[in-house]
Amino acid sequence: MFGSKISDTTTLILFVIVVALIPLLAAPLGAGYPALMQFFAIFGILAIGFNILFGLTGYLSFGHAAFLGVGSYSAVWMFKLLSMNVIPALILSILIAGVFALIIGFVSLRRSGIYFSILTLAFAQMSYKLAYSVLTPITNGETGLQLALDDPRILDSARTSGQLPTPNLFGLDMNATRVVDVLGLEVQLNFGYFFSAAFLVLAFWIAMRIFRSPFGLMLKAVKTNQNRLNYTGVNTRPYTLAAFVISGMYAGLAGGLLACMDPLAGAERMVWTASGEIVLMTILGGAGTLLGPIIGATVIKFAEAKLSKFNEGVVHGWFDFLPDGLADVLTWVVAKFVGDGWHLTLGLVFMLVVTFLPGGLVEGARRIGGYLGRRGQKEDLEQLGSNVQGGKTTAAE
């Protein structure tokens, strides 16, 4: 996958296998529980979508989280009004996010560079601020939009139990989990994860097709030299707008899926730092590469879930074998970087990656691959040349 010659079909098959085995692979790392695995898949979709815009066209949107939020709100409203079936919810999520992206993109794409970034940021912040305050009748503000027992849900037959219904796919509940024992390891097989993972594979496949299509080629050309493209008879605006809308629909899908896994939509989903997190995921993994954004999303969600849980007690446990004084000192130091200090680690790792590995983790893997097997490398790089622009730091301008 990294720097070796593998056809797209093989990549896709390997990808499907890895995605299917995640519950098994993540379990020993303590990450094999439904909520986190669902995040891997959903934020993977989000990052793939963001990469179609940023990785291909180079337009850095700092407001992408707004589409995620819009998708979630749409889905929850569908659950409240129509049915707990996830299909109508997801369709509406994608559509509404697409419409939002069309409007915001149409306006924002009149500018480029940092002006574009600021415009998207401004739109997203307006959405967030309004959702938090005056739009509370629609968004339920700070608390977030939730299901209630007395929601109409006109398509579902009334449930008599005093419990809230669960989002489902024609009766298959998203939170249905089967625990199996594999060689002493508890592996949680969660339907919601496999459902999201199916969308991840679909999203990956579509992104791959886009990367390899003339449309994708035009998007890459937009990133490299928009001026030349104009004088080559190409109207770049529809291309960037199409990329923006596709990317927004990906985010809408991700937002919808988040709501399917956990039927709540909160305004914080749209705040600008959430958009920043999407950028972080993409860059960390490797912008402009196919797999990078998914890897970045997985790493960040994993770190967020695990690092923040290491409280001082846990850390002290690691150093118990050491003499008391030393253990205390080490605990004090390490605890600054985990638990409530995990943001510090995130910031540091991020600076290191941007400084030394601007192509992200994928470039790192490629470099390691380069050390391991130098033969044939040059040819591969040429082959991959057009797929790794994100990894290049010296784009002539």
Partner 1 sequence: MGILEVQNVNKRFGGLQALDDVNLNVEENTVHAIIGPNGAGKSTLLNCFVGRLTPDTGTVMFDGQSLIGRKPHEINQMGVSRVFQTPEIFTDLTILENVMIPSFAKRDGAFKLSPFAAVKAESAIRDHAEDMLGQVGMLEKRHMVASAMSRGDKRRLEMAMCLAQSPKLLLLDEPTAGMARADTNATIDLLKQIADSRPITFVVIEHDMHVVFSLADRISVLAQGHVIVEDHPSNIKGNPKVREAYLGDAHE
Partner 2 sequence: MSKSNFSRRGVLKTGAAFGGVLAAPTFFTSAANAFTNAPGASSVTFGFNVPQSGAYADEGADELRAYQLAVKHLNGEGDGGMLNTFSSRALDGTGILGRKVEYVTGDTQTKSDAARASARSMIEQDGAIMITGGSSSGVAVAVQGLCQEAGVIFMAGLTHSNDTTGKDKKANGFRHFFNAYMSAAALAPVLSANYGNDRKAYHLTADYTWGWTQEESIAAATENLGWETINKVRTPLGAGDFSQYITPILNSGADTLILNHYGNDMVNSLTQAVQFGLRDRQVNGKDFQIVVPLYSRLMAQGAGENVKGIFGSTNWHWSLQDEASQAFVRAFGQEYGFPPSQAAHTCYVQTLLYADAVQRGGDFNPCAVAEALEGFEFDGMGNGPTLYRAADHQCFKDVLVVKGKDNPSNQFDLLEVVDVTPADQVTYAPDHPMFAGGELGECNPGA
Partner 3 sequence: MGDIVLQILNGLDKGSAYALIALGLTLIFGTLGVVNFAHGALFMLGAFVTVTFTNLLSFERVTLSETETTAWGSPLEIREPVLQAWFGDFGLWLIDYSVLVSILVAIPIMFIIGVVMERGLIKHFYSRPHAEQILVTFGLAIVLQEIVRTFYGANSISQSAPDALRGMMDFGVVLGFEPGMVPYPTWRFVYFFFAVVVIGGVFAFLQFTTFGMVVRAGMADRETVGLLGIDIDKRFTFMFGLAATVAGLAGVMYTPILSPNYQLGMDFLVLSFIVVVVGGMGSLPGAVAAGFLLGILQSFASMNEVKEIIPGIDQIIIYLVAVIILLTRPRGLLGRAGVMED
**Is 87 a residue that touches partner 2 (CB under 8 A)?**
no
359: left (phi over 0), alpha (psi -120 to 50) or beta: alpha
**Is 156 a residue that touches partner 2 (CB under 8 A)?**
no
Burial class (CB in 10 A: 0-12, 13-18, 19+), 72: buried
For partner 1, the closer of residues 372 and 396 by Cβ is 396
CB of 254 to partner 2, least distance (A): 13
For the chain, list the strands marked E by DSSP.
145-146, 168-169, 172-173, 177-182, 185-190, 264-265
Bridge partners of 264, per DSSP, are 146
Judged by CB under 8 A, the chain residues 271 through 330 that form the site for partner 2 are 305, 308-309, 311, 313
- Closest by CA to 4, choosing from 377, 360, 395, 321, is 377
- 348 makes contact, choosing from partner 1, partner 3, partner 2, none, with CB < 5 to 8 Å by partner type, with partner 3
CB of 56 to partner 3, least distance (A): 14
- 327 makes contact, choosing from partner 2, partner 3, partner 1, none, with CB < 5 to 8 Å by partner type, with none
Q: How far apart are CA 9 and CA 23, in angstroms?
A: 23
CB of 288 to partner 1, least distance (A): 9
Residues in contact with partner 1 by CB under 8 A are: 206, 209-210, 212-218, 220-221, 223-225, 227-236, 238-239, 242, 246, 382-383, 385-386, 389, 392, 394-396
| CB atoms near residue 359 (< 10 Å) | 24
DSSP per residue, 220-247: HHHHH-HHHHHTTT--HHHHHHHHHHHH
Asked if 238 and 246 count as a contact pair (C-beta separation under 8 A), the reply is no
For partner 1, the closer of residues 4 and 213 by Cβ is 213
DSSP per residue, 296-315: HHHHHHHHHHHHTT--HHHH
CB of 163 to partner 2, least distance (A): 5
| CB atoms near residue 1 (< 10 Å) | 15
Residues in contact with partner 3 by CB under 8 A are: 54, 58, 60, 107, 110-115, 117-119, 121-123, 125-126, 129-130, 132-135, 272-273, 276, 279-280, 283, 336, 341, 343-344, 346-348, 350-351, 354-355, 358, 393-395, 397
CB of 28 to partner 2, least distance (A): 12
Among 11, 112, 125, 136, binds partner 2 (CB under 8 A): 136
Q: How far apart are CA 394 and CA 224, in angstroms?
A: 12
**Which residues here bind partner 2, judged by CB under 8 A?**
30-36, 39, 129, 132-134, 136, 140-144, 146-150, 161-164, 166, 171-173, 175-183, 186, 188-189, 191, 194, 258, 262, 264, 266, 268-269, 305, 308-309, 311, 313, 339-340, 342-343
